[in-house]
Amino acid sequence: MPRVSHAMLSITAVAVALAVQPVQAQEAAPTVAYNDPAALAVLPIAEADRATAAILGYEDEGLVVLREGTGAFICMADNPDDERFQVLCYHKSLEPYMARGRELRAEGITGKAGIERRWEEIDAGELEMPRHPATLHQLFGSDPAAVTLENADSLGRLTVIYMAYATVEETGLLGQPSRGKPWLMYPGKPTAHVMISGR
């Protein structure tokens, strides 16, 4: 019987190990459903920010934390009770303002009334609003059931940059919507913000 050297055995063992590794890695890789709410929720922000974003979502008991975050953004999953699809992510410095809005809506104070209430609270120093620019990124569409990770690029996109008390005069921005151009909403107010729409 021919002798088999230790070197030949080592080479064979390495070859087998290398052949097995991709299979093991493939088996260990997690899979994400095309319509997973948490995966869809982080799509508005850059890929580099998605893994560290906190995610809020909806379950039977209402709005809950789906994932704690350590990064700069807080993301909101689509509300299954809404007819339209909408996910958004905002800078964490906006959380006091956003959380207060959710509280007011729970009390039945919605729309412009809820915004004006928060203006009063910000002006009175009762509600925190960042004095530095802070962004909100949103994706939206008409049919929630049709949205998947594969076709999310076809959704409408809106970027909002909050600039507290900014005015048209000091920014040079338009004070009303104009197709394809950024404009300033609520100029001079505590929640003045730049609106930038696109795909």
Tell me how far apart the alpha carbons of residues 109 and 40 are, in angstroms, rounded to a whole number. 29
Asked if the model's pLDDT at residue 198 lies above 90, the reply is no
Environment class of residue 32 by beta-carbon count within 10 Å: exposed (0-12), middle (13-18) or buried (19+)? exposed
Of 119, 197, 193, 112, nearest to 159 (Cα)? 197
Q: What is the pLDDT of residues 17-63, one digit of tens each?
A: 434 444 344 444 344 455 799 999 999 999 999 999 999 999 987 89
Tell me how far apart the alpha carbons of residues 174 and 183 are, in angstroms, rounded to a whole number. 5
Tell me how far apart the alpha carbons of residues 17 and 21 are, in angstroms, rounded to a whole number. 6
Q: How many residues does the chain have?
A: 199
Reported confidence tier of residue 3, pLDDT bands at 50, 70, 90: very low
**How do the domains of the chain map onto residue ranges?**
33-198
Q: What is the pLDDT of residues 110-129, one digit of tens each?
A: 999 999 999 999 999 999 99
Q: What is residue 145's DSSP assignment?
A: G
What are the backbone dihedrals phi and psi of residue 177, each rounded to the nearest 5 degrees, phi first?
A: -60, 140
Say what the pTM is.
Answer: 0.81
Is beta strand 54-59 parallel, antiparallel or unpaired with respect to 73-76? parallel
